[in-house]
Amino acid sequence: MFPFDAKLHWPKEINGTMDTYHRWMEVVVGGTLAGLPILNIPAGFGSTGLPMGLQVMGRAQADLSVLQVGYAYERASGYTKVRSALLG
């Protein structure tokens, strides 16, 4: 999901209409409530220049593995060397 305007109370549509505020958070709630290690990795920019991310979720007590996956992705993707078109 791309960032949305702060004036917007909540996104009403993501790949279809959502009936409640909580629908847009469903993809992250399960892992968080289960206490699983979760890492959000910057993954580049969409066509409008807004940032997008990748979420990596590991099994319980696998924090180091999740961090290693994030580090490997960072090195392989090269996203840290790319600037958003919005920055000029």
Which residue type sits at 29? Answer: V
Distance CA 31, CA 45 (A): 25
Does any domain span residue 28?
A: no
| Count of domains forming the chain | 1
Domain containing 63 equals: 37-87
Q: Kindly state the DSSP code that residue 41 receives in the 8-state scheme.
A: E
User: Residue 87 corresponds to which tokens in the numbers above?
Assistant: 């920055």
* pLDDT tens column, 9-68: 777 777 778 777 777 777 678 888 899 999 999 888 888 888 888 899 999 999 999 999
Quick one: pLDDT band at residue 2, thresholds 50, 70, 90? low
Does any domain span residue 23?
A: no
Does any domain span residue 43?
A: yes
Does any domain span residue 20?
A: no
Predicted confidence (pLDDT) at residue 73 exceeds the cutoff of 90: yes
